[in-house]
Amino acid sequence: MTDLDFGGASNATTDSAFARASSLPRRLGLWSAVAVLVGSTIGSGIFRSPASIADKLPGPLPLLAIWLTGGIFALCGALTLAEIAGALPRTGGVYVFIREAWGRLPAFLFGWAELVLIRAAALGAISTTFSEYFIRVLGYDPRVQPYSSFVHYVAAAAIVLTATFNYVGIKWGSLVQNITTLAKTGALVVIIVLAIAIGLPRTGGHFTPAIPTGSFTFARFGLALVSVLWVYDGWADVSFVGGEVKDPEKNLPRVLIYGTLIIIALYLLANVAYLAVLPVEEIRHSKLVAADVAQSLMGAAGLAFVSAAVMVSTFGTLNGSVMTGSRILFTMAADGLLFKPIAKVHERFQTPGVAIALEAGLGVVFVLLGTFEQLADTFVTAIVPFYALAVAAVFVFRRRPGYQPPFRVPGYPVVPAIFIVATLLLLGNAIVDPSSRVATLAVLGVILLGIPIYYVTRRRASLP
């Protein structure tokens, strides 16, 4: 199925032209695509976020339960997109899914949000974390001058470097992704194995009492779930390069399912490892829990090891974000909703070179002007409603004649509904919480600003 032709398309000729214009060579194999998913998801979160989560749920069983619950929600989304991606294995992923289910306006708003908010903010936040750890590995403190100023410039250089890898070919970008994913996964596995093999016999573990008094309430569980789902974010990014995956009808569902299961397993085992070495009370006050665990097991060498691991991990996440995000702008331009040159494929490298350069340029601007907190908050708030729309597309497609996906989500319609409820919880919490309400509404306002821009663009391009 290559031309989005299973019914419901408003204009078959236009859709066929869009399919051709947004095509890129299929060069990503199964495990390279899995590396994109895993590498885009595992950043610095699992190395530092357990502290804030344990602070809300200070008990071994509640702590492990919240990571499992977040994993189930992410898996529900992955299983649903596995069906849709198998049926529509196209470059642009979520953009294409929203376009085909809900029309050009919602798809444009997603592309608009990616252009002005999501991707540039994500690149800025990820590169900032990489830069801080890079400076730390060199032996300097990134929190004090002049190194705190250097953070922005090192981050900008990292964006340019990863953009260069992806500009000169998907093989180079996927090679970097494969190497960094192996390194970050390997680092987590090392921590897990050492904690269980050395730390557990030494401490006996800190798994009892399983549910200390006051360690669980439904309100706290809901707040912690928000934080956990942020750490799982990234599992859908592989859909953006769906048009470059080999044998996509078979491989894309496998990539989404295998990759998400790997993430869930690593996150659960990492938290078991942390509890094997440190009691919950120490975890909740440890901003860099993986570093504290490694230092407890290996001394100063452990601290250096984790700092290097986080540096490599975030560099791989940055590379994956550059690779996947540029495909959204490329696809949007091929659809006539951005300047046509952005849809240009480099004659020699066969990559969306203009889209990569545009994305990297915006990321550099964001990282030079914003802080990590500002960038991260902007990214997560803007992406949530579009994940919900992409997953909800399955309800639209299932009602269309000719829709025959190679994989069908088990437990339909409950599985996609679970994910949609989880994303609405994230967005609702951000709006209700007084500390994030203004920023959240501002981000949503910028997204809605895309509506008049869409109609101006549509008239100029004479789109249906």
Give yes or no for residue 413 having a pLDDT over 90.
Answer: yes
Residue 287 lies in a domain: yes
Give yes or no for residue 128 having a pLDDT over 90.
Answer: no
Domain range for 39: 24-461
Given a contact cutoff of 8 angstroms between Cβ atoms, the answer to whether 226 and 381 are in contact is no
What does the pLDDT read at residue 371?
A: 59
Given a contact cutoff of 8 angstroms between Cβ atoms, the answer to whether 237 and 320 are in contact is yes
**Buried/exposed 275-297: b ≥16 CB within 10 Å, e otherwise:** bbbbbbebbbebebbbbbbbbbb
What does the pLDDT read at residue 16?
A: 59
How high does pLDDT run on average in the chain?
85
Between CA 74 and CA 69 the distance in angstroms is 9
Provide the 8-state DSSP code for 212: -
Give yes or no for residue 30 having a pLDDT over 80.
Answer: yes
Residue 12 lies in a domain: no
Instruction: Show the CA angle centred on residue 117, arms to residues 266 and 240, nearest 5°.
Output: 55
Q: The domain spanning residue 168 has which CATH number?
A: 1.20.1740.10
Helix runs in 103-198, H state only: 104-113, 119-137, 147-167, 170-194
Residue 4 lies in a domain: no
What does the pLDDT read at residue 12?
A: 41
| pLDDT tens per residue, range 344-364 | 888 888 888 899 999 899 889
How many CB atoms within 10 Å of residue 334?
A: 25
Give yes or no for residue 131 having a pLDDT over 80.
Answer: yes
Residue 137 lies in a domain: yes
Q: Could you tell me which of 209, 265, 222, 264 has the C-alpha nearest to residue 429?
A: 222
Residue 60 lies in a domain: yes
| pLDDT tens per residue, range 270-306 | 999 999 999 999 998 887 788 889 888 888 888 888 8
Rounded to the nearest 10 degrees, what angle do helices 104-113 and 372-397 cross at?
Answer: 160
Number of folded domains that form the chain: 1
Residue 5 lies in a domain: no
Residue 17 lies in a domain: no
One-letter amino acid of 427 = L
Residue 8 lies in a domain: no
